[in-house]
Structure 1
């Protein structure tokens, strides 16, 4: 189904597509469009800000603080100018006072963190009571819907299917692909409660993303040589790619059986 509000927003797809490999661009574009549906109060913390490219597109104003553990992305985040301040640090020990942030986000980050309990406890500590925290993560539908492992399963080679699922999950650096009950339990332990959640990114969309990892190999070579993902950032150069990814971008936000989940949570008040 097509989202009826697609035309009302800026072209998040093109803004990502011209700067990123297409498999990453389509997921980030879908996520950026969802962030446009709600408002976060300042000051805002972005946990796992990376190079800061995402917030420069998804947000219409600067985010107060971005934090990331890696030196290279932190340097780029400062250059991309989407934050008032960028800090290098760990989610395990956030260098901020208690009850400081009125809003927080973490875009496709929490699934990579080994000790989620420690991180969520820290996020809860630095958030004001009733502060909103939004994040998105892959869920329990991600691995079962990979196309190549599904092919192996259908022809009776489940061992190869499992090997491929483990391989792709490693490529994506996923540690957690959990369902709502698992998230609800760990969030409640940290003093956070789910206000709203929905699944997005259909199994078909996942197949587009999955195969993009392989068809996007030339972009990886180009990035290694030039630090750019695309040599010619003109729409005519993306005509074929656009025909592949546009139907995914035009999906409705909520997808039954979607392989990613979007969460809006709040810090509990005393």
Structure 2
């Protein structure tokens, strides 16, 4: 059985609307501030690299995604190394090899979110950062958790530092937490 089969059909080929682009711009600037420079960053579900382009300069960024077409676009963004791999099992990296991980607008599609958070925890160095975002996703057919559920999953492995809920006009929640 393919665990990736439960993903929303066409997730990577959906056209971004104005509010999605606005959220990416806002989160890109915010994540750049949170992540800084000289880090080794794993972008989980990087899609086409549109968000990672904001924090790629001055960092070593590896963008991980399942969709080959999207990864081809991500590979064109300076500073991003694109790697094709599913998020449904062990990540193809050794323990404690990243200073930060990004999980932006991907977790809400994953039936195995607890697994990917455990894997992010494993590959992060001590006190490493996990930053990301989830949309106001009550309308999504594959929504698997509430914000409260999501905060609980984060709190099981990370110390939550910032949780910015429902940005006006963008409808997304950004978070920053640290490996405990």
Could you say which TM-score interval applies, normalised by the shorter chain? 0.7 to 0.9
The 5 Å alignment of 1:32-43 reads 32-40=28-36, 42-43=39-40
Partner of 1:192: 158
Find the structure with the greater CA-based Rg.
1
In terms of fraction of residues, the more helix-rich structure is 1
Q: Which residue of 1 aligns with 2:177?
A: 265
d(CA) in 1 for partners of 2:67, 2:74: 11
Aligned-partner SS, 1:125: helix
What are the Cα deviations for residues 86-109 of structure 1, in whole angstroms up to 9, with x where unaligned?
A: 210122221000111111112211
Change (3 A) 1:169 1:110: same
Shift in alpha-carbon separation, 1:62–1:88, aligned structure 2, 3 A = same
- Alpha carbons of structure 1 residues 177 and 63: separation in structure 2 relative to 1, 3 Å: farther
Q: How does 1:215-254 map to 2 (within 5 A)?
A: none
Q: Partner of 2:140: helix, strand, or coil?
A: helix
Secondary structure at 1:130's aligned position in 2?
A: strand
- Deviation string for 1:154-211 (max 9, x for gaps)? xxxxxxxxxxxxxx424xxx524522x322321233x222122121422xx26xxxxx
Determine which structure has greater relative contact order: mean sequence separation of CA pairs < 8 Å that are 6+ residues apart, divided by chain length. Answer: 1
The unaligned stretches of length 5 or more in structure 2 are 1-15
Say which of 169, 176, 179 aligns to 2:140.
169
**Contact 2:132–2:174 (8 Å) recurs in 1:** yes
Q: CA RMSD in A?
A: 2.2
The aligned residue for residue 88 of structure 1 is: 84
Q: What's the TM-score once normalised by structure 2's chain length?
A: 0.78
Name the TM-score, length of structure 1 as normaliser: 0.54
Question: Size of the alignment, in residue pairs?
Answer: 163
**Alpha-carbon contact 2:31-2:55 (below 8 Å) kept:** yes
2:18 corresponds, among 12, 18, 22, to 22
Q: Structure 2 vs 1, CA of residues 57 and 196 (structure 1 numbering), >3 Å: closer, same or farther?
A: closer
**Matched residue SS, 2:90:** coil
- Aligned equivalents of 1:136, 1:183: Cα separation in 2: 11
